[in-house]
Amino acid sequence: MQINCGQYRFDLTTTDSAVMRSVQQVYGDALLADAPADFAIGLDPGLWLRRWIKPQVNFRCDQHSPFKPLPSSQAYAVLEWGMNWCIAAHEYSRFLLHAAVLVKNNTAIICPALPGSGKSTLSAYLGLSGWSVYSDEMAVIDIDSRQVLPLFRPVCLKNNSIDLLRSWHPNAVITPVCRDTQKGDVAHVKVLSWEHYQQLIPVPISAVVFPKYKHDTELVIYQLDQLDAFGQLSRNAFNYNVLGETAFDIVAALVSNAGLYQVEYSELTELAQFFDELVQP
Amino acid sequence: MRRLIFAPHTKLSCFSDGSGVAIYSSYTGDTLMLHSELRDAVMLQSFSALPDFNLTDMQNSLGIDAEEADRVIQYLLDNQLIISAAGC
Amino acid sequence: MTAFRAQQLLMYLAEPERCAELSLPQWQQLIWLLREAKLLAALAAALERRELCLQLPVYARRHLRSALTYADRQSQQIRFECNELKRLFDGAGIPALYLKGSAYVLAGTANGRGRICNDLDVLVAKSQLADAEALLQKNGWRTDKLSDYDERYYRQWSHEIPPMVQIHRGTVLDLHHNLYLPISGRAADMARFFRLTQTTISGALVLNPAAMVLHSIIHLFTNDDMQSGMRDLWDLYLLITQFSTTEFWQQLHGLAQVSGFCNELQYCLSALHYYLAPALDPLTLQQSVNGSSNGLWTRYIMLPALLPSHPLVCRWWHRRAKQLVYLRGHWIKMPPWVLLKHLTIKTFFTARDQLFGKYQFAPKRPPNQHW
């Protein structure tokens, strides 16, 4: 079956019916025009002995398996991570930052993925309240225009945020929870309909925000200096090293032109308000 | 005092808030960042535009003491980002 | 889905104009195949040499650009590492000869652009091997701990020492002292090969055209692992096309004769004829007609074994050919008593790995722990 993520297409081979159901849930409304796929991927059952004792799933990108096999109950999460891996390991025609991309008024805010940033919860929250989530993991930046491109992907929720999101949005489309993955319990929530995705266009980045979740704190906003932001962004890019000078130029332009902030927050509503101010036309 | 220049394979980006300079080397493929204590963008800009510089120039532009400037220069030399100016 | 005709694969690289006729589904297959064969960047380089990129569909252009960007960055890294190594070796008075991928990039041969390398290959005289290894160890190159068996394999039988890794940059270096395994009894006379060298513009020592091509032939056609077979054949095509003169062919034949690699040269000519005949220059075509072998082993085993291991071109009989070449690769390398031991140990581990999954023994982690 084909998975259409907008910028990338995957040709998936699997016999796991639970995975196929989740794929249908998340990507089912995407148009499958007659276009070539970028990657041939597969979820294979592990080795023969393993099919009965602790069944495993092995992600395959064409003829290679980048990860060690994982329990088959985590198959859908493995698929989503595997798709990220395919893009990150092969894409050098665009600049890839490990960051969430949140868009409103045709302006993007990117949140680099530092541990403890809570960017996925934030992405899901904003995605279901009027913002367009271009990605919760990967900012895909066009090298020539330096604008960020939309991806048609779900947001990866972890642990408590799964129930939290369910309580905010009882009707949200969420895949079954994969328990005890290397990141804890994981589920994917759909934040874009294909109809909505098709309206999205490449947009400029107006702010880089490094959020930090801190229990019981007021919203505190620090201005970040360009040198620090440069360091953080270049370290958080998937292909900075391969793109070399091209990436250097993009990051240098980004920190010169965008607002740079570090934010401590405990209430998502307060953070959302700040984000709204950042994208006022 | 020894005159130095940025190696021909380097590219500099001076930050407009004066926080420092990022240097890319197309020889090693590495990026290095120099932090400025002065936070003076004009000063950085003119430093990077100098045909060559010495320890004092670096001290004045980044707002660091001689010992620190010497360490920075040694590091930049080791990483082949700067070289001795011709004829010195 | 119509798969590619295996024999046609390299012709898309040799005559990139052919790509203009590809449909999108065919592009998809070609890109998957060449990515697996480590030849996608080579196609991009071939298209760029003829300025054909702009006419291609966006889908193809993006993948080709990605592949070429990666290969170019790798070349930059190779030039840098070789310069650093050269400084090191020059300082210690150890002449070092750059081989394979490093040599192609440094010498700027036609195959230098768009070539994917796994590691740097450098050769020093056997008498200076210990000094060279110690020098590298003192300067940030270290050797990963190997199993006792692998350690012995390298030290007693091989023409190279265990791979060394640069501690800061992760670059992998294979330090050789011969072009071929001494235990085979066919090791090259390195004193002769050290005379057959040239100096690149950057001052690095590489083999001269005939010796460079012969080494590339030895490497491909004595190898047990044919995973990069197509890529290596493409190397040979570009090198030979670049060098092909009457004098070059005389030297190549002479060198193959004195060093005992005439069979391998014959396999090479057969492969060029089989996969690339319409694209050969008149001299090479004539060589390939006269020098090809029509033997069963060449036709049914050697030639098919060069195909990339991808289901789009690789059928069960190709896989069988690859297995046979694997056995032969071991057979010609080693005397039978060593071979028996070598295969038993390898097979024992393979059986163990198949039963439990190899990752139980060599844990492999995703590159990014945040996912």
- Chain C residue with minimum CA distance to B79: C84
Asked if the model's pLDDT at residue C345 lies above 60, the reply is no
B22 interaction partners in chain A (CB closer than 8 Å): 227, 230, 248, 252
Query: What per-residue confidence (pLDDT) applies to C31?
Result: 96
- Chain A residue with minimum CA distance to B21: A227
Distance in angstroms (rounded) separating the CA atoms of residues C325 and C300: 11
B26 interaction partners in chain C (CB closer than 8 Å): 76
Instruction: From the options 3.90.1420, 3.20.170, 3.40.50, 2.30.30, give the CATH code of A95-281.
Output: 3.40.50
Give the predicted TM-score (pTM) of the model.
0.91
- Chain C residue with minimum CA distance to B26: C76
For chain A, the structural domain boundaries read 1-90, 95-281
Distance in angstroms (rounded) separating the CA atoms of residues C210 and C208: 6
In percent, how much of chain C has pLDDT > 90? 58
Interface of C with A (CB under 8 A): 24-25, 27-28, 31-32, 35-36, 59, 62-63, 65-67, 69-70, 73, 76, 309-310, 354-357, 359, 363-371
More confident residue, B87 or C164: C164
**Tens digits of residue pLDDT in B56-80:** 999 998 989 999 999 999 999 988 8
Residue B28 distance to chain C (closest CA, Å) = 6
Distance in angstroms (rounded) separating the CA atoms of residues C77 and C73: 6
B27 interaction partners in chain C (CB closer than 8 Å): 80, 83
Query: Band of the pLDDT at C356, cuts 50, 70, 90?
Result: very low
**Tens digits of residue pLDDT in A177-186:** 999 888 889 9
Quote ipTM for the complex: 0.93
For chain C, the structural domain boundaries read 6-332
- Chain B residue with minimum CA distance to A231: B33
Would the CA dihedral through C114, C265, C249, C190 be positive or negative?
positive
Tell me which H or E stretch contains C89. helix C58-92
- Chain C residue with minimum CA distance to A115: C370
Q: In the structure encoding, which two tokens stand for residue C313, read together?
A: 């071109």
Crossing angle between the packed helical segments C262-276 and C282-291, to the nearest 10 degrees: 120
Asked if the model's pLDDT at residue C353 lies above 60, the reply is no
CA distances to A37, A109, A135, C9, C90 from A90, rounded to whole Å, are 14, 25, 18, 22, 37
In percent, how much of chain C has pLDDT > 70? 87
Asked if the model's pLDDT at residue C316 lies above 90, the reply is no
Contact B15 A225 (CB under 8 A): yes
Report DSSP state, residue A177. P
What parts of chain A have a pLDDT lower than 70? Answer: 47-53
Contact A84 C309 (CB under 8 A): no
Query: What per-residue confidence (pLDDT) applies to A122?
Result: 93
| Chain C stretch 75-94, residues whose beta carbon is closer than 8 A to a beta carbon of chain B | 76-77, 80, 83
Chain B to chain C Cβ contacts (< 8 Å): 8
Instruction: Please count the other Cβ atoms lying within 10 Å of the Cβ belonging to residue C335.
Output: 12
Query: What per-residue confidence (pLDDT) applies to C123?
Result: 95
We find that the CATH architecture of domain C6-332 is 2-Layer Sandwich (3.30)
Residue C70 distance to chain A (closest CA, Å) = 6
Do C115 and C105 meet the contact criterion of CB atoms below 8 Å apart?
A: yes
Q: In the structure encoding, which two tokens stand for residue C270, read together?
A: 């057969």
Pick from A225, A240, A241: which is nearest to B19 by CB?
A225
Q: For C151-163, what is the mean pLDDT?
A: 80
Asked if the model's pLDDT at residue C315 lies above 80, the reply is no
B20 interaction partners in chain A (CB closer than 8 Å): 225-227
Residue B33: how many CA atoms within 13 Å on its side-chain side?
Answer: 21
| Chain B stretch 18-47, residues whose beta carbon is closer than 8 A to a beta carbon of chain C | 26-29
Report DSSP state, residue C160. B
Query: What per-residue confidence (pLDDT) applies to C29?
Result: 94
C80 interaction partners in chain B (CB closer than 8 Å): 27-29
Residue C124 distance to chain B (closest CA, Å) = 25
Query: Band of the pLDDT at C323, cuts 50, 70, 90?
Result: confident
Chain A to chain B Cβ contacts (< 8 Å): 43
